[in-house]
Structure 1
Amino acid sequence: MPPVGAWPTLTLADVLEARRAIAPYLLRTPLHGYPGLTGLVGAEILVKHENHLPTGAFKVRGGINLVSHLDRGERARGLVTASTGNHGQSIGYAGRLFGTHVVVCVPVGANPAKLRSMRALGADVVEHGRDFDEAREHCEALAAEHGYRYVHSGNEPLLIAGVGTHTLEALEQEPRLDAIVVPIGGGSGAAGACIVAKAVAPGCEVIGVQAELAPAAFRSWQARSVVRDRMATAAEGLATRVGFELPQSILWEHLDDFVLVGEDELRDATRLMIEHTRNLVESAGAAPLAAALRLRERLAGRRVALVCTGGNVTLDQLRDVLDGDVVPHSSITALA
């Protein structure tokens, strides 16, 4: 990977070009307000519904943008990538659109709903390793062995520009946003949000959220250096053991704040998101609500967008969330 500082500088122009590239294939996702969530947080809450995209997650924006820009030689070689599910679906979806063979390496025991989706899209799914990072290392070995075009899930400028279109849409739909809260695993979504928000609405804060049990991106952001850490969260969309260089370089410069939330907070937020939005939401997609509840005093009275990055929850995960102890609305302040 290039050293920090060697990456191309991403700008709003890159995101605008990405919007042009993905427009023939994806509809804009809605930005809806929910009085119930507004009451819980004490701020005007709007949800950016990336769970409405064809793969059920925001990553498809980046996948289509990247594959649409590959030359014939790269497409002919085929693509290989590593994923816990949503990124793999995005590359599989784009590969099907553009007639490109896709191999996705996933950790053993990955979300079965996401595995079925990737296979249905025509991707070859290779299960390897105990977590995302072991799957990623196997993916890199396959790329070297077979000559595939390796698609890193974070260190790809075209992916970041593509996923940044969700924030572009949100600010076009509601230009008066005071803050946008974005979940962070590898950090591509938050990096894209930073690029757009700082160019279009400099007064709008971008706040990242990650799981306490997988804090590598958070620790990297704090240290201003890529670090490794534990990975024990059940929220696969937040589950990485190491920070990624390109997203981190953008977050170091532009991210306004970064918070960690616990597993119970993620479960409670998932339940509350499902209850109040009547949408399926996976844990990573509910993480912004968990963060907003933690930041209630700071966000009070402001207009806040929560990026619901995905809704690819399995039936077992859904049962686990719904069978848990319900948090009474009157005591929700205990989460703050």
Structure 2
Amino acid sequence: MTFDLTYDDVLAAAEVVGAHLPVTPLQAHPLLDQALGRPVLVKHENVQPTGAFKVRGGVHLSATLTDAERRHGLVTCSTGNHAQSVAYGARLAGVRATIVMPASAPAAKRDAVAALGAEVVLVGASLGEAGEHARALAAETGAAFVCPTDPRIVLGHATAYLELFGQAPALDALFVPIGSGTGAAGACLARDALAPGCRVIGVQSSAAPAGWHSWRTGLIEAAPATTRAAGLATTTGYPRTQAILRARLDDFVLVDDDAIDEAARLLATCAHTLAEGAGAASLAGAIATGVEGAVAVVCTGANASADEIARLAGSVAAA
């Protein structure tokens, strides 16, 4: 499959994903509106069976595997939610999956991947090091390496935004967190067809800015990832998604980890929602930019680590 993705491809992916996953809610929360001083809608991808939007990519992947992929199994690398997505999809398809995760990946996410039946291999201190090992392992065993930006994954993720723009077709701005950029790329694909007047704005942690640098310079840049938000801890831009983001993303902002933690506190106290760091980042971006009008943010995941929950509990108690 090439990476020349179309809206028709997104519609086809939606038929596959919709057969396995329910539509997630897009909701207003009056207390959150009051805290922000302006209205914002929250797309609750945190209610997916793996706790994150990325399961959509795994479901779509499971239905589009080649015969060779089914025979030899899958290998991928991830800090957590992509790992669960591929493990979930592999279980649906009845194929083997090995997930290489950096040692820094939260224990809860490692355990969740293993519970889905995948083999977990811990290698390296960063996602980049885990990725190198995963590619080498795939070459050694004959398994297929599933890049986090595989076109089938991007199309699965785009189905979240197909839903969102169907639920709220008159949005002025949509904030989407960016790690590898698959969600934001999918958002742009759906937006162009359904809501061309809506600005799609990417949000990344300033402590893991490789995607932001890549988008700004037009080159594939690397940067250290020291963010506390595991889902945003990518060390490089990704060529496939950057090609879409450079052409279609309206803006890209950085927020610091403290701002992400504060957004997670607001989601917990004002929207009854547990969000991991990546899941709170889009709200942090909306707060930082002060964009008004009809605005939506995506709570992409609820798989908070023990450290994130402890920080959240402390901030709520202090508030």
Question: Normalized against structure 2, the TM-score is what?
Answer: 0.97
Following the alignment from structure 1 to structure 2, what is the Cα–Cα distance between the partners of residues 14 and 327? 48
* Alignment pair present for 1:319 and 2:305: no
* Alignment pair present for 1:280 and 2:271: no
Which residue identity lines up with residue 202 of structure 2 in the other structure? Answer: G
- Equivalent residue in structure 2 for 1:307, among 280, 295, 298: 298
Tell whether the 8 Å contact from 2:269 to 2:316 is kept in structure 1 after alignment: no
Tell whether the 8 Å contact from 1:43 to 1:304 is kept in structure 2 after alignment: no
Q: CA deviation at 1:121?
A: 0.3
- Equivalent residue in structure 1 for 2:240, among 237, 246, 256: 246
Q: CA deviation at 1:316?
A: 3.3
Distance 1:137 1:15, change over 3 A: same
1:36-86 deviation per Cα after TM superposition (whole angstroms, max 9, x unaligned): 222233332110011100000011101111121012221111000000000
Q: Within 5 A, what are the aligned runs for 1:19-34?
A: 19-34=14-29
Q: Secondary structure at the match of 1:44?
A: coil
Distance 1:232 1:315, change over 3 A: closer
Q: CA deviation at 1:7?
A: 4.8
Following the alignment from structure 2 to structure 1, what is the Cα–Cα distance between the partners of residues 31 and 294? 14
Q: CA deviation at 1:146?
A: 0.5
The answer for the alignment partner of 1:83 in structure 2 is 78
Which residue identity lines up with residue 140 of structure 1 in the other structure? Answer: R
* Alignment pair present for 1:160 and 2:151: no
Query: How many equivalent residue pairs?
Result: 319
Q: Within 5 A, what are the aligned runs for 1:104-183?
A: 104-154=99-149, 156-183=150-177
1:144-192 deviation per Cα after TM superposition (whole angstroms, max 9, x unaligned): 10011110112x1111111011111011111111111000000000000
Percent of aligned positions that are identical:
45
Q: CA RMSD in A?
A: 1.4
The answer for the alignment partner of 2:197 in structure 1 is 203
Following the alignment from structure 2 to structure 1, what is the Cα–Cα distance between the partners of residues 294 and 137? 46
Q: Which runs of 5+ in 1 are unaligned?
A: 1-5, 329-336
Following the alignment from structure 2 to structure 1, what is the Cα–Cα distance between the partners of residues 15 and 2? 23
Which residue identity lines up with residue 135 of structure 2 in the other structure? Answer: E
- Equivalent residue in structure 1 for 2:212, among 214, 218, 231: 218
Following the alignment from structure 1 to structure 2, what is the Cα–Cα distance between the partners of residues 170 and 327? 34
Which residue identity lines up with residue 53 of structure 2 in the other structure? Answer: F
Tell whether the 8 Å contact from 2:176 to 2:203 is kept in structure 1 after alignment: yes
Following the alignment from structure 1 to structure 2, what is the Cα–Cα distance between the partners of residues 306 and 211? 16
Q: CA deviation at 1:317?
A: 2.0
Following the alignment from structure 2 to structure 1, what is the Cα–Cα distance between the partners of residues 120 and 274? 25
Q: Secondary structure at the match of 1:164?
A: helix
Which residue identity lines up with residue 66 of structure 1 in the other structure? Answer: L
Following the alignment from structure 1 to structure 2, what is the Cα–Cα distance between the partners of residues 37 and 214? 27
Q: Secondary structure at the match of 2:212?
A: helix
Tell whether the 8 Å contact from 1:182 to 1:206 is kept in structure 2 after alignment: yes
Question: Normalized against structure 1, the TM-score is what?
Answer: 0.92
